[in-house]
A and B are shown apart, each in its own frame.
Chain A
Amino acid sequence: MAVETEIVEIAVRTIGVSGAATLLAALWGIPLGIILGLKRFRGRRVIVGFFNAMMGLPAVALGLLLYLLFSQSGPLGFLHLLYTPLAIVLGQAVLITPITVSFTTSTIEAIDPEIKDLATTLGASETEASMAVLKESIGGVLLAVAASFNRAIAELGVAIMVGGNLRGLTRVLTTSIALETTRAELDLGIALTIILLVIVFAVNASVNMLQSKVRSWLWK
């Protein structure tokens, strides 16, 4: 396979894997973040603190835990997930969930009291006021998603531990960069790095554009 096609394939796989991980994390992380941001219940502070702390979890540590979990002789070995793209998707989703949750929670916490009071005094019920808070939080929530994607696409530990950097199957940009660096193919490493950065910038720019679209659509 030509180097160019292989690079394109790796880039596409990277976007797919990290994009799927981001969506998965958003799927459970945003609702969780919303609940933590809006509701006040016993143990809430502990949960919020837990997710804040977990944002600092090194990817390689999580990768090791997941490797032991997915390994043939691990508890989930029967799923045969190890060294598949799905394993990276799941691993990255777990890795970035704290970011999705914490960013969502804090954006809602920042907006909550003021907008909730405002909606309330303008005649909103409890539910309607919560909806207003969510509408106002949309920018922060999208930021949470973008930040999660950035972490997912930039991480190495999970991809290498549960993906194994298998050529043509689980090789993604970060694992390729690490590999090409140890192989002393620094030029290729730099090229891959530039591709990674271009993807990150493009995705973040589109999220920014999406933000105003979504906002005006929500208010329609």
Chain B
Amino acid sequence: MEMITLKDVAKQYGDIKALKNISLEVMKGEVFSVIGPNGSGKTTLLRIMAGIEAPTKGTVIFDGEEVDGKNLVKLRRRGTMVFQKTALFNTTVFGNIAYGLKLRQFPQQEIKERVIDALDIVKLHGYEERLTKSLSGGEQQRVALARALVLETDVLFLDEPTANLDPKSVSVIEETITWINRERNTTVVLATHNMYQAETLGNRTMLIINGEISQIGQSKEIFTLPSTQLADFTRVENIFSGISTMRVEGTPIVTLDNGLKIEAAHGSGGRVTLFIRPEDIILSKDRIVSSARNVFAGQIAGIIDLGPLVKLRVDAGREFVVQITKRSFIEMGLNIDSHVFLTFKASSVHVL
């Protein structure tokens, strides 16, 4: 059963074609993820599906009803969206979460109960009276999520809900998305450019580039046979290309252009692209003896402070990006030019 169907939907802002003839179906009860680079039209697509914006041309069918001027407000209420840039009303957490319920004229007692439940789900128990301004970015986004899920709509639209958040909030939000889909059977449309998120959360994934559908299908299929197009724009750091040769054990070893050799657990021979997630790399001051197949010595070339986390650019023949916690960073007494070792397992190397 289709929840949302788009037929030849296009959107134009002045001369800019944000979406070009998109046709797709989102099925009831699925998690549909949309990935694509910045400016590819993800947000516009979600806004049109959520009824916030009208398409320049084409048809939107919501649960069998074609959306038009008359039923827009009614149908729009069956879905709700969480924006990438957290927008909160400048009042208490309670005031925010209760807003949509008040519009729907729920009795006060029920509003109260639902708000408390919603806060429990996003692990912000007891935050009702806090002012939204006093919350951290991650907490704010969780309030935004609670405010959306409290409405128990049929569809939940999430536009990059975890961009730039702390890891704890990211995991709470990801768990909540899974929970709401499984327990409430809510249809979820998730825009992201984090491909791991699309892979783990989404039943189906669509890749959108320049306002056009580039690939669409089961997430598993898309990510087991990813195109270089996919790797190009997703926020993949530590992406390298090189020549892969298969070893007798059947595992590939990739020689990068400058001679650096990286061992991988899976992959094929020939010219390949590979990447390693920054959080999968262990950073140490001394060489670690372990089962990990890849160890490189390097020097810190740059430090990016991300609040509780720190990203380091390490020059180890090629530049690697490594993510560690602020606490480790301080305890290890690291600085620009510090000599460090990078260690990662062959299975952390994703060969495309």
Q: A residues near B, CB below 8 A? A: 114-115, 117-125, 128, 132, 135-136, 139, 215-216, 219
Contacts and interface: CB of A to CB of B under 8 A. Distances in A.
14 contacts: A115-B89, A117-B52, A117-B87, A121-B76, A121-B81, A121-B148, A122-B103, A123-B77, A124-B103, A125-B73, A215-B91, A219-B89, A219-B92, A219-B95
A136 B100 contact: no
B151 interface: yes
Nearest to A113: B87
B89 A135 contact: yes
Given A120-B76, A219-B89, 8 more contacts: A114-B87, A115-B87, A119-B99, A120-B52, A121-B76, A135-B89, A136-B89, A216-B91
Contacts of A114: 83, 85, 87
B13 to A, nearest CB: 13
Residue among A118, A121, A132, A216 facing the most chain B CB atoms (10 A cut-off): A121
A189 to B, nearest CB: 42
A216 B91 CA distance: 7
B50 interface: yes
Contacts of B313: none
Which secondary structure characterizes the binding site on chain A?
helix
Given A122-B100, A122-B103, A123-B103, A117 B83 contact: yes
Contact of B80 (A121, A136, A215, A219): A121
A115 B91 CA distance: 13
B52 A121 contact: yes
B258 interface: no
B147 interface: yes
Interface string B248-274: 000000000000000000000000000
A120 B147 CA distance: 13
A122 B80 contact: yes
B78 to A, nearest CB: 9
Given A128-B103, A219-B92, A219-B95, A122 B151 contact: yes
Nearest to B78: A123
B168 interface: no
A135 B51 CA distance: 23
Contacts of B50: 121
A123 B95 CA distance: 15
Contacts of A123: 76-77, 80, 100, 103-104, 151
